[in-house]
Amino acid sequence: MSINGWLVVLVSISLSLLFLCVYTLLGRKQKHRYETKGMMEDFFPSHKRKLALRNFYLRAYVLCLRFPGLHGYTLKIRRRLETIHAYDEYTMRKQTMKIVFLTLGITWSIVVVLAVVTQDIVFMLWVILGALIMNGLLIDLFINRLEDRLLRHFVHYLGDVRHEYQQHRMVDEAIYDAAQAASYEAQMHAERIHDMLTAKNPAAKLERYYDVAPNQYLKAFAGISHLVMEHGDRMIAKGSMYLNAVSKLVQEMNFDLLRREKLNYLLKGLTGVAIAPIFFTVPLENWARTYFPAIQQFYDSKLGIVMKIMVYAVIVVAYVLIRKMLENDEGHYIAKAPGVIWEKKLYGWRPIRALIEKLVPGAHTREHFSLVLLLKQANSRLTLEWLTLRRIVFGTLLFAATVIFSFYLHIYSSYQLLHTPYSSSLLFGAMNGEDMEKAQQITDFDRKVIEAVKQEKEHSRDMIVHKIGELAYSPMDTVALNIAASRIGDKFETLEQEYYKWWELLLAIAVGVVGYSVPIWVLQFQRRLRAMDMQNEVDQFHAIILILSEFERMSVEQILEWMERFAIIFRPSLQSCLLHYDSGATASLEQLKEDSPFVPFVRIVERLLNAVEKIPIKEAFDDLELEQEYYKEKKKEHHERVISQKVSWGNMIGFAPMYVLVFLYLVLPLLYMSVMQMDDFVNQIQKV
């Protein structure tokens, strides 16, 4: 093992021992704390272990906040948990540290194992990059599991609410009594909703709960409970209005859970499959070099390096697309504003802002309208100026990277030609130590001759023969001299061709244009995914409108507010509509139709237009109740088709890096070297 390999292993073992020491130290402190207080005898062994583990997590949380690297990582996980669960402080810290230890432990184990297997520093950089990506995937996995668990538990809790409400017909008492038998996650949210309903100003507390509720279903339940508490329940055709609303809400939650379970089962591990080739490029190359020595010429050539870059590029593209697909698939359409938006920060510089303002399409041009519409449909956090800046940065970076890479390939090829041990094209198999030493001597001699010829004004074959005669260690016969002259002449001609060519500049410009278009392509892909789930959100609007239409004092503006709270895809357009509603209800609804030209959604807006002045809300949506079975079957068929499409796309994109790795990095090199060696072998036979 090389020095670099031993260094990586030593660092890995040192960090592992440090983690073990911290774990042991914290455990001993906790044990000593309870032994000195005499509390260890008061608990059962299982209870003592749980208590010790809980206190270990709490002390580890405080310790992690003291380290600069772990401080931000721990708070990042905590913030994501706060949006899902209404934990108390101790449980929040415990759950945070569970995820921290699991994600860091799994990621670090993979890095250590691969550090022991290989000693290539460049490969380790890619491994570290893959480990960082995998760490983010693990965080998403654990957070999504907690979110799904909350939904399942809350469905059971709503069933208990129905049972309790049927007994004493009091909303607040039913919510409180059902919470006593609920799971911890559901109980915490139920108690918050109960506190809101029994507060002096429940409307203000309800608005505050909307800001922290983890999903639209809990918002809807809290809002419906508040409406019934304020206006009272009444009997409708299907029984109690409140119980009917809870039943429809449970039906929507069960449908969403079923969809998530199907997609999680069919797309499980897809992102891991997409990034897995990062960890196998160098092991696969080492295996091929060991068992197929002739393939070394391919891996060391410019074409081999280009193939490796293509494999990594496909991995990056597949990862980005899969991430966008899974984010949309889980319903996370709301743009998550990070701590620092680099486009915003860069756009704040006056010279850059002046340049971008000149490049942004005019306000009344077709391109400006199409780009703004694309940003809205993709629900992107970017403005048109930030998008233009991102396109310019991506295009410039890819152009510069292509130019630098081209220069690097010329330098690398020249170095390989002058320093790699010379091997005959008819050599099948690996060279032994004696052959390697002779090949290195030939290469060193060729390099001296080439350097000597470069210093002369004339670079003809006669000059090469002359220099060979001067620098040869011993006299050469005519045959050996001609062979050496031909070999060195070929090398010299190859070296003279290693310069930056005009078509490489055109290639760099083409790659820059592709980079300039990549942000637009990503937004279009995101818009296509969103279009698949628009019908699902419209169906959810139908369910919430059926519930709200039973309330006698419900207005169109209130329905729009509920739709905005329940919406994910259509939220930006609904927010704009509500913002301008007071200045004109009809005009704002007409603008809503233009902002979201999805036909089923437009039909909802048209019914709301009729309900503004002409007819009551219940009459505007009376056909939804009559055709409920039809809409249910249509919804089921639509979701089966969407799931099938997403699975097809996901499998095609997720497995593309693996196919590219096997074909471009193993099969194609073997075919290429086989054809080249066979061609050389036939030529040698013909000469003989």
pLDDT digits (tens, 9 = 90+) for 59-75: 888 888 888 778 888 88
Q: Under the phi-then-psi rule, with left for phi > 0, alpha for psi from -120 to 50, and beta for the rest, what region is 472?
A: beta
| In a shared domain, residues 428 and 408 | no
Residue 17, in any domain of the structure: yes
Beta bridge partners of 235: 240
Q: Checking DSSP bridges between strand 235-236 and strand 239-240, what pairing results, if any? A: antiparallel
Confidence class for position 156, pLDDT limits 50, 70, 90: very high
CA distance 673 to 399: 31
Mean pLDDT throughout 30-34?
A: 42
Amino acid at 294: A
Is the per-residue pLDDT at 31 higher than 60?
A: no
Q: How confident is the model at residue 439 (pLDDT cuts 50, 70, 90)?
A: confident
Lowest-confidence region among 11-25, 124-138, 140-154:
11-25
**Percentage helix, strand, coil for the chain under 3-state DSSP, each rounded to 5:** 80, 0, 20
Q: What is the mean pLDDT of residues 191-216?
A: 87
Q: Evaluate whether residue 15 is within a structural domain.
A: yes
pLDDT value of position 299:
84
Q: Where does the pLDDT of residue 505 fall: very low under 50, low under 70, confident under 90, or very high at 90 and above?
A: very high
DSSP assignment string, 226-271: HHHHHH---EETTEEHHHHHHHHHHHHHHHHHHHHHHHHHHSTTHH
Q: Are residues 410 and 429 in the same domain?
A: no
Write the CB contacts of 279 (distance below 8 Å, at least 6 apart in sequence). Answer: 110, 114, 127, 130
Single out the residue in 87, 117, 147 at which a domain terminates: 117
CB neighbourhood size of 663 (10 A): 14
Is residue 687 a part of any domain in this protein? Answer: no
Lookup result for tokens 């339940």: 221
Better-predicted residue by pLDDT, 17 or 166: 166
pLDDT surpasses 50 at 685:
yes
Mean pLDDT along residues 610-617: 81
* Predicted pLDDT of residue 23: 47
Residues 401 and 450 in one domain: no
Look at residue 2 and tell me if it is in a domain: yes
- Note the pLDDT of residue 400: 94
Rounded to 10°, the helix 478-496/433-454 angle is 70
Mean pLDDT of the chain: 80
Residues of the chain with pLDDT > 90: what percent?
7
pLDDT in tens, 284-343: 888 888 888 778 878 888 888 888 888 888 888 888 888 777 765 544 444 444 445 778
User: End-to-end alpha-carbon separation of the chain, Å?
Assistant: 45
If asked whether residues 399 and 513 sit together in one domain, one would say: yes
Q: Are residues 6 and 57 in the same domain?
A: yes
**Hey, what amino acid is at 219?**
K
| Co-location of 388 and 505 in the same domain | yes
Q: Mean pLDDT throughout 139-151?
A: 81
- Tokens describing residue 551: 């309330």
Give whole-number Cα distances, 6 to 20, 106, 117, 130, 249, in Å. 21, 22, 11, 21, 59
The answer to whether residue 675 is domain-embedded is no
Q: Using 50, 70 and 90 to split pLDDT, how confident is the model at 430? A: low
**128/111 Cα distance (integer angstroms):** 7
Q: Is the pLDDT of residue 375 over 90?
A: no
Backbone angles phi, psi at 236, to 5 degrees: -120, -170
Within-domain flag for 380: yes
Q: Are 394 and 518 in contact (CB under 8 A)?
A: yes
Q: For residues 640 and 452, what is the distance between their CA atoms, to the nearest angstrom?
A: 73
Of all residues in the chain, what percent carry a pLDDT higher than 70?
Answer: 86
Q: Are residues 492 and 510 both part of a single domain?
A: no
Q: Which helix (H) or strand (E) holds 619?
A: helix 617-620
How many other CB atoms sit within 10 Å of the CB of residue 551? Answer: 21
Rg of the chain on CA atoms, in Å: 34
Higher pLDDT residue, 207 or 20? 207
What was the pLDDT predicted at 520? 93
3-state secondary structure of 560: helix
Q: For residue 241, give both structure tokens.
A: 């209005």
**Per-residue tokens: 660:** 């590219």
Q: Which two tokens stand for residue 277?
A: 């080739």
- Three-state SS at 16: helix
Check residue 332 and give its pLDDT.
44
User: What one-letter code names the amino acid at 363?
Assistant: A
Q: How many CB atoms lie within 10 A of CB 409?
A: 19
Distance between CA atoms of residues 415 and 495, nearest Å: 10
Domain edge (last residue) among 90, 117, 144: 117
- Residue 407 — very low, low, confident or very high, per pLDDT cuts 50/70/90? very high
Whether 507 and 380 share a structural domain:
yes
Q: Which of 58, 93, 117 is the last residue of a domain?
A: 117
Nearest Cα neighbor of 194 from 207, 210, 177, 181 is 177
- Residues 392 and 447 placed together within one structural domain of the fold: no
Q: How sure is the predictor about 534, in pLDDT bands with cuts at 50, 70 and 90?
A: confident
- Give the confidence band of 120 by pLDDT, cuts at 50, 70, 90: low
- Using the predicted structure, report yes or no on whether residue 443 has a pLDDT greater than 50: yes
| Same domain membership, residue 462 and residue 409 | no
Least reliable range by pLDDT among 84-88, 126-130, 248-252, 500-504: 84-88
Whether the pLDDT of residue 574 is over 60: the answer is yes
- Residue 517: which pLDDT band, with cuts at 50, 70 and 90? very high
Which domain does 87 fall in, by range?
1-117
As given in the structure block, the two tokens for residue 632 are: 């249910």
pLDDT of residue 543: 85
**Each residue of 630-647: pLDDT tens digit?**
777 777 787 788 888 888
Residue with tokens 């919510």: 175
Is residue 476 situated within a structural domain?
Answer: yes
Eight-state DSSP code of residue 65: T
* Distance (Å, whole) CA 387 – CA 371: 9
- In angstroms, the CA 559 to CA 561 distance is 5
Q: What confidence tens digit (pLDDT) does each residue in 543-564 have?
A: 888 888 888 778 888 899 988 8
pLDDT at 86: 62
The pLDDT of residue 489 is 84
Mean pLDDT across 142-148: 81
Residues 197 and 203: beta-carbon distance below 8 Å: no
Distance (Å, whole) CA 198 – CA 175: 11
Q: Counting runs of H as helices and runs of E as strands, what totals does the chain give? A: 30, 2
Is 327 part of any domain?
no
- Give the chain's domain count: 3
Instruction: Say whether pLDDT at 3 is over 50.
Output: no
pLDDT score for 423: 66
- 357-391: b or e for each residue (b if 16 or more CB lie within 10 Å)? eeebeeeeeeeeeebeebbebbbbebebbbbbbbb
Closest to 326 in 3D by CA, of 392, 407, 263: 263
Same domain, yes or no, for 341 and 469?
Answer: no
**pLDDT confidence bin for 393, thresholds 50/70/90:** very high
Q: What is the mean pLDDT of residues 448-467?
A: 80
- Please, what's the b/e burial string for 326-348 (b: 16 or more CB within 10 A of its CB; e: otherwise)? bbbbbbebeeeeeeeeebeeebe
Judge if 511 and 474 occupy the same domain: no
Reported confidence tier of residue 688, pLDDT bands at 50, 70, 90: low
Length of the chain: 688
